[in-house]
Copies of this chain bind each other. A is one copy, B any other.
């Protein structure tokens, strides 16, 4: 490894003070051209690169924002991260990724680390909210005393942070109506959980629209579960094995695309023809949706836009003391062929 070269080495060799070196580095106008060139020559010769650590200490800021999410392996979260990374970079900030798996209680150590590192903002993308995870709320509350937080979450009463979320109530209503128009009368919901957090909205829209359309609201049609493909498989298995064939639903709304993916596999394995014998709708509009068989109708939550808003708000929160607010974005039903509708089917409004 190269021996470390500091600003003192440069100053000494160029026969100037460190202040002058700093001036040269930051293109300060009042440096005599001759001096500037001499210093630059020494800098170039030694490949000198100033330490950002020392600079951060002296300036009291590091221009770094944390992105906290359950797991990047999930492309939806990865997309959120990438957009945040890009937006931050464009504004002279860097982004630090923290994974906070929903099944591990590491929130305290993660929060502690953010504070230790003196990060300047946190973009929190949580999976599960409130009731399910009291320790998380405490940790975030503590975090909020040190840096601004923007979260992807339904409006929070007990936490003062900027909340970005989607109008999933309306979108799921559209989804149900979409299925209804196509002739479906027995519609089930699988995966996630109807009570908690994000899926609360899904459940709310689901039930509201069933009621509005006069469709049966059969508890046997709600099969909560996990958030991955495997739980989709299991949910379908439980759902169908619990009902005689004549009462099977003809359409499913899945918590997300992964659950839908697993569900589709299980349905095919049970010999059902998609979409004719079972329609299905996912959520997140992940990259693989166009490539499932049949291509999966899904809901686009516009994660990129959320992420960009989040970063921008965090940056501006540092300067002007913003009062917390919530921002609700539409979710868009992206119709493909998994419900039998042809591509280009008119979006319900």
Please report A residues at the B interface, Cβ cutoff 8 Å: 1-2, 4, 47, 49-54, 56-57, 60, 62, 71-73, 75, 78-79, 81-82, 85, 94, 96-97, 99, 112-113, 115-118, 142, 145-148, 229, 261-262, 264-265, 268, 287-288, 290-293
Q: Give every chain B residue within 8 A of A115 (Cβ-Cβ).
A: 49
**Given contacts A2-B146, A99-B82, are A52 and B117 in contact (CB under 8 A)?**
yes
User: Of all chain B residues, which has the CB nearest A59?
Assistant: B53
A66 to chain B, nearest CB (A): 12
Q: When the two chains form their complex, are residues A51 and B116 in contact, meaning their CB atoms are under 8 A apart?
A: yes
Contacts of A60 in B (CB 8 A): 4
Minimal beta-carbon separation of A282 from chain B (angstroms): 12
How far does the Cβ of A308 sit from chain B's closest Cβ, in whole Å?
Answer: 16
Residues in B neighbouring A56, C-beta threshold 8 A: 53
A290 to B51, CA, bound (A): 47
Q: When the two chains form their complex, are residues B118 and A53 in contact, meaning their CB atoms are under 8 A apart?
A: yes
Please provide the 3 A-B residue pairs with the shortest distance between their CB atoms, ordered closest to farther. Answer: A293-B293, A52-B116, A72-B78
- Among B57, B73, B99, B291, which residue has its beta carbon within 8 angstroms of that of A54? B57
Q: Which of B71, B117, B287 contacts A73, CB < 8 Å? A: B287
| Chain B contacts for A142, CB-based, 8 A | 47
Q: Which residues of B contact A287 (CB under 8 A)?
A: 73, 229
Whole-angstrom CA separation of A81 from B62 in the bound complex: 23
Which residues on B sit within 8 Å (CB–CB) of A264?
291, 293
Query: Which of B53, B75, B293 has a CB less than 8 Å from the CB of A57?
Result: B53
Contacts of A54 in B (CB 8 A): 57
Q: Is B96 in contact with A261, judged by CB distance below 8 angstroms?
A: no
Most buried by B among A113, A261, A291, A292: A291
Q: Is the CB of A265 within 8 A of B288?
A: no
Question: What residues on B are CB-neighbors of A49 within 8 Å?
Answer: 112, 115-116
Q: Smallest CB-CB separation from A62: which chain B residue?
A: B53
If A1-B147, A73-B82, A96-B96 are given as contacts, then 20 extra A-B residue pairs at C-beta distance below 8 Å, sorted by A number, are A1-B148, A2-B146, A47-B142, A50-B116, A52-B116, A52-B117, A53-B118, A54-B57, A57-B57, A71-B82, A72-B81, A73-B78, A85-B97, A229-B288, A229-B290, A261-B291, A265-B290, A265-B293, A291-B292, A293-B293
The residues of B that contact A51 with a CB separation of less than 8 Å are: 57, 116, 118
Pick from B2, B62, B262, B292: contact of A145, CB below 8 A. Answer: B2
